[in-house]
Structure formats: C-alpha cells, structure tokens
C-alpha cells in the first residue's frame, strides 16, 4: 500500500503539467473567475456589448464603419442585451460614456466612487 500515495502524486504532477501546457486552471481567465471578477468571461463588459450588437444584427440592423451598438439603459443600471435596448451610436460617443452612471457620473470608466452621503 505504500506505493499508492506515490502514484497519486505522479498523477497530480502530470495533471498540473497538462494544465499549464494549455493555459489551464491557473491562466489569467481561470484565476479571475475564481476571484469572482465581473470583467471575465460571460459577465464581462465587452461580452455584453458584443451580445447586444449580435442581437441587433440578427434583427436586421446594419452597422457602418465607425458605428457601435450602445445600450439605451446601461447594463450597469440593469439594462438588458436585447435588441430593443440597443441603439446605433458613433464609436466616440458610445465609448466616452464609460462609467457615467450612478455616483461615478462625469468620471472615466473605473472612476472612484464618492464616499460622501
């Protein structure tokens, strides 16, 4: 029975090497999901924007060069990615709106929240 723990350690080491070879469990994405980051995977801001654009395009909206799909009600404020919540905007106006809802209004995306009450 003394050989079994050694075999388990070999299996674990082989699994660890395989994970690392393909970016595995300790990749940036996996680490971000473990931490509970909102900006990784299906919950990321960019994914919500892409989903909105796909939904709008499937409903027949055509986008020219320099146009973005913008949320009427921001996803941060509870807006959906349904085509009915989307509108065509220029890239510059859509991307300048980052972080401008709630008490971060007028600040760049990721601006510090006010501590005043």
Quick: pLDDT tens for 14-31: 777 766 665 555 567 777
Query: Could you tell me the CA-to-CA distances from 79 to 13, 24, 63, 116 in Å, in that order?
Result: 45, 33, 21, 26
- Rounded distance, CA 26 to CA 75, Å? 29
- Rounded distance, CA 70 to CA 13, Å? 47
**Residue 87 confidence (pLDDT):** 93
The pTM of this model reads: 0.53
The more confidently predicted of residues 87 and 38 is 87
**Residue 67 confidence (pLDDT):** 92
């Amino acid at each position: 029975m003394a050989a079994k723990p050694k075999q388990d350690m070999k299996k674990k080491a082989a699994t660890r090497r395989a994970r690392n070879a393909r970016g595995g469990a300790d990749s940036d994405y996996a680490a971000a999901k473990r931490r509970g980051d909102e900006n990784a995977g299906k919950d990321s801001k960019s994914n919500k924007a892409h989903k909105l654009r796909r939904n709008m395009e499937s409903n027949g909206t055509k986008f020219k060069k320099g146009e973005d799909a913008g949320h009427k009600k921001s996803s941060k404020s509870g807006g959906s990615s349904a085509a009915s919540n989307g509108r065509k905007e220029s890239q510059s106006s859509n991307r300048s709106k980052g972080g401008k809802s709630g008490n971060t209004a007028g600040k760049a995306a990721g601006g510090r929240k006010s501590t005043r009450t």
